[in-house]
Amino acid sequence: MSPEHRLVEALSPPGGPIYGAKDALTGEQQVVFRLRSELDLQLALSHLPRTVLLAGVAEAQRTLLCTIAAELGSNMLKFAHGGDLRVCRCQKSGQDMIEILSEDTGPGIADVPAAVCEHFSTAGTLGLGLPGVIRMADQVHIETGPGCGTSVRALTCLGEGPPQKRAHLTYLLRPGAKPTALQMSCGRETRPCLGQPISGDAIVFRQITSGQLLVAMIDASGHGPRANDLVMRLVALVEGHPRPDIVPLLEALHQACRNTAGAAAGVARIDPVAHLLRYAGVGNVRAHLLGPGSGERAWAGVSRNGVLGDRFPTPFVQQVRLSPGQVLLLCSDGVSESLGGFRGGLPGTSDAPALAHQVVSQCGQALDDAACAVVRLA
């Protein structure tokens, strides 16, 4: 790095989000952006392209580096209410590099492999933050743990380098206090369409690894015996599938629905130890997480438009943290979307089977199959 690149950045006024310093261990010049608001992030992104650290860097690479900084900064504001974004220019193995480091003291990432998957989100967004950084950078190192904050270090080679589709990724889990496992009680209720003897809706509860629970809501198109025949085949698939996880199951259900009238399905996976819910759905199946006591909706899952067996969208896996006293509902489209017909003080004090029965009996539409799965957490 040339001498002028080691000049200390001009300090912003006291209380400003930007300041310059040298790394205590390496002596490399770095710029630190203290992010506490969206305005801080916008100021940082405005300043970064003009910093002496990026002097001589091609315009395309400056844009790439600013995009990495924007993704990391947005993640800190969204999940940890802020943190520090550090940028430095360094030499590693003879290669001139820019290192962007985000550090926060937030809740941490409980499932790193899931968080770096495309379209995985814990906040109902498109889930492009960390996967986007991994696509753009050359090396990414993540250090995190439940309740222990998160550090993401993204290194990008300057100048021309060998093309690659995805960064070299490493991660380290910090030891954290293990939360008390949630207790789960389950209930389900299905009711056929008026005038039909059997339903085309079905619910599967399946215990899987480490005490986790898989919940599948399946709604075969149509009504009566033909829809019931299809949904029973899909139930058997979910119960016996060798890879009982959300995306593999949805893909398998899609293949099983080929040359049929099709179906909709939502799959939830609950980890009672990590206090985490993951969900994805295809078609008109809904997931609601209700807050303790009052029954107010704390979270609503997103099921992507499509039809299993015909139009299969990329599954959008969402993740949300769980708390004792919450209630998870998975409903077919035969249950009123607003749950407006419910008169029982949802979630109230009913046990899970009674609550599922109440939802279907009071919110189910007579001219459609109706089904509701309930998982009550304690």
User: 282, 269, 204: which is closest to 239 by C-alpha?
Assistant: 204
Task: State the distance between the two ends of the chain, measured CA to CA, in whole angstroms.
Answer: 57
Give the tokens for residue 92. 């590693």
Q: In the 3-class helix/strand/coil scheme, how is 115-169 assigned residue by residue?
A: HCCCCEECCCCCCCHHHHHHHHCCEEEEEECCCCCEEEEEEEECCCCCCCCCCEE
Q: What is the pLDDT of residue 283?
A: 96
pLDDT, tens digit, for every residue of 180-211?
789 999 999 999 999 999 999 999 999 998 78
184-377: CATH topology is Phosphatase 2c; domain 1 (3.60.40)
CATH domain 3-173 topology: Heat Shock Protein 90 (3.30.565)
Strands 276-282 and 303-304: parallel
Rg (CA), the chain: 25
Report angle CA 167, 319, 119 to the nearest 5 degrees: 40
Checking if the pLDDT of 170 tops 50, the result is yes
- The alpha helices in 257-351, defined as continuous H runs, are none
- pLDDT tens across 47-70, in order? 999 888 898 999 999 999 999 999
* pLDDT recorded at residue 6: 32
User: What are the structural domain ranges in the chain?
Assistant: 3-173, 184-377
Backbone angles phi and psi of 170, in degrees to 5:
-130, 155
Crossing angle of helices 38-47/59-80, nearest 10°?
160
Confidence at 264, pLDDT banded by 50, 70, 90: very high
Q: Are 247 and 315 in contact (CB under 8 A)?
A: yes
- Tokens 């506490």, residue located: 36
Neighbours of 165 (CB within 10 A): 6
Q: Model confidence at 242, in pLDDT bands (50, 70, 90)?
A: very high
Grade residue 223 by pLDDT with cuts at 50, 70 and 90: very high
Mean pLDDT of the residues in the chain: 84
Read off the pTM.
0.58
User: Taking 70 as the threshold, does the pLDDT of residue 372 lie above it?
Assistant: yes
Closest CA to 62 of 85, 75, 46: 46
The H-assigned helical ranges of 31-128 are 38-47, 59-80, 112-115
Q: What are phi and psi of 357, to 5 degrees?
A: -65, -40
Q: Where does the pLDDT of residue 10 fall: very low under 50, low under 70, confident under 90, or very high at 90 and above?
A: very low
